[in-house]
């Protein structure tokens, strides 16, 4: 078995008489409260990153004199950053540990904002999304991997992703206020830069014990085999498909809804920008309100039920040309799909071998979330030729695809993971 050494999880000789639990051991939230707070803040910063672009698109276009296709390239560059982080995550973590990888991601995210906030030429502004995408991906992977090691992980995953939702609520409110009242919409990124700097400091402090050291002593030796085993696991790829389509639906809807309401519903840009916050508010409330309900009545049954309700809301949004009705429908759409991501991660820990949990969650969180960049790009590319109304059939198709992947997820072979108090097994050397 491996020896635990990094990220504050040392032996008694190294850290004194009361060492923290080993990384892969199930931990009481009280024992790692600082790390829970810092990882939650990191995903809130990620939410502020992801939800602002769609609100700013109506202002980016006239500033740079570009069309929808050129704007959608932002999402393609973002997707590239996500994908690179996805395949690098296990190897980076094997050398820097969870804390070090989180800090590296936070630095990369801040670098992107440093390139954005002064209104640079469009190629440089677009390139900055590679760094924000990579930075958010590293943090998302590690925050989720850490959270599953906390007892009652289904609840803490729900809280983690609800806090992400809080960031997505704040972002449109701030971005739309700045963009609608001043000509300097890019100054939104001064705010995210400041949040990012605080994020770096907070992560560095809470993970200071063993920062930039691997979680386990032989992590570098096992990283390659762990990635290979993760890639060979059928359940990982099925859930990757589920997350890829889900993240695509989430950000495509939140990202293009404002442009749709302006172009198709002829809404006022200064007012409909706030409708995006209605979507993200519902999304956040769904993760808070439905977390325990979903766990109590069964993840598989409840996600299928939520999907039906989400599809009804999406059709209502599509076929009723009334902006107030659309705002309510999209809020409820966000409410019903909100729990999918944390619930899916919890189910992953039930169907994937314990020794692959951390690697599989890191890989799936990164690659699956890359859909948040891929589908908004595809929507924008198609919209540049056919109009923004294509958002609606694309969203219906994504919801149906999510349902298909969900039905393919295998049932767990045992109920070993049903008790959240049971300690996770260490990775064998």
Compute the average pLDDT of residues 309-323.
92
Q: By C-alpha distance, which of 188, 165, 180 is closest to 46? A: 165
Q: Indicate the average pLDDT of the chain.
A: 83
Model confidence at 221, pLDDT cuts 50, 70, 90, reads low
Least-confidence region, from 82-96, 171-185, 406-420: 406-420
* DSSP letter, residue 187: G
What confidence score (pLDDT) does residue 303 get?
93
What token pair was written down for 70?
């050129």
Torsion of CA 215, 24, 44, 86, to 10 degrees: 60
Q: Which domains does the chain carry?
A: 30-208+220-407 (1.20.1250.20)
Identify the three-state secondary structure at position 22: coil
Q: What is the pLDDT of residues 147-196, one digit of tens each?
A: 888 888 778 888 898 898 889 888 888 998 898 888 889 999 999 999 99
422 — pLDDT class (breaks 50, 70, 90): very low
Residue with tokens 């508010």, as numbered in its chain: 281
The Cα–Cα gap between 411 and 351 comes to: 7
pLDDT of residue 172: 84
Judged against a pLDDT cut of 50, whether residue 315 lies above it is answered with: yes
Residue 352 has pLDDT above 90, yes or no: no
Highest mean pLDDT among 30-34, 71-75, 110-114: 110-114
Backbone φ and ψ for 177, nearest 5 degrees, come out as -65, -45
**DSSP of 120-170, one letter per residue?**
--HHHHHHHHHHHHHHHHHHHHHHHHHHTTBSSHHHHHHHHHHHHHHHHHH
Give bridge partners of residue 27 from the DSSP assignment: 150
Q: State the DSSP string of 290-314.
A: HHHHHHHH-HHHHHHHHHHHHHHHH
216: β partners: 4
Quick check: 52 pLDDT over 50?
yes
Contact in structure between 133 and 78 (CB atoms under 8 Å): yes
User: Quick one: pLDDT at residue 24?
Assistant: 63
Could you tell me the pTM of the whole model?
0.78
């Amino acid at each position: 078995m491996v020896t635990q050494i990094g990220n504050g999880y040392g032996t008694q000789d190294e850290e004194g008489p009361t060492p923290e639990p080993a990384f892969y051991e199930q931990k009481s939230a009280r024992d790692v409260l600082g790390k829970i707070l810092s990882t939650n803040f990191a995903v809130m910063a990620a939410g502020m990153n992801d939800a602002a672009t769609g609100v700013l698109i109506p202002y980016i276009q006239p500033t740079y004199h570009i069309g929808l296709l050129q704007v959608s390239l932002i999402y393609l560059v973002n997707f590239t950053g996500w994908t690179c982080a996805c395949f690098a995550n296990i190897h980076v973590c094997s050398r820097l540990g969870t804390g070090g990888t989180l800090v590296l991601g936070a630095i990369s995210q801040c670098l992107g904002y440093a390139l954005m906030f002064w209104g640079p030429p469009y190629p440089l502004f677009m390139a900055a999304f590679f760094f924000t995408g990579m930075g958010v991906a590293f943090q998302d992977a590690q925050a989720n991997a850490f959270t599953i090691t906390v007892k009652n992980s289904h609840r803490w995953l729900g809280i983690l992703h609800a806090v992400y939702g809080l960031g997505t609520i704040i972002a449109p409110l701030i971005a739309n206020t700045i963009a609608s009242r001043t000509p300097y919409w890019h100054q939104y990124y001064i705010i995210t830069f400041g949040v990012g700097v605080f994020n770096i400091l907070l992560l560095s402090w809470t993970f200071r014990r063993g920062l930039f050291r691997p979680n386990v002593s032989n992590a570098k030796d096992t990283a390659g085999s762990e990635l290979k085993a993760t890639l060979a696991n059928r359940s990982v790829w099925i859930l990757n498909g589920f997350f890829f389509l889900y993240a695509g639906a989430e950000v495509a809807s939140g990202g293009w809804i404002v442009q749709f309401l302006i172009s198709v519903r002829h809404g006022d840009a200064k007012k409909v920008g706030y409708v995006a916050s209605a979507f993200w508010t519902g999304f956040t409330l769904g993760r808070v309100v439905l977390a325990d309900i979903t766990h109590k009545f069964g993840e598989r049954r409840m996600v299928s039920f939520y999907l039906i309700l989400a599809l009804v809301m999406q059709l209502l949004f599509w076929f009723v040309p009334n902006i107030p009705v659309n705002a309510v429908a999209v809020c409820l759409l966000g409410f019903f799909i909100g729990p999918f991501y944390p619930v899916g991660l919890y189910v992953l820990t039930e169907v994937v071998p314990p020794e692959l949990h951390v690697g599989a969650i890191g890989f799936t969180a990164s690659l699956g979330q890359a859909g948040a960049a891929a589908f908004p790009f595809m929507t924008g590319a198609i919209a540049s030729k056919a109009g923004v109304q294509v958002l609606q059939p694309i969203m219906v198709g994504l919801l149906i695809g999510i349902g298909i992947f969900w039905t393919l997820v295998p049932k767990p072979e045992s109920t070993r993971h049903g008790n959240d108090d049971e300690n996770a097994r260490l990775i064998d050397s």
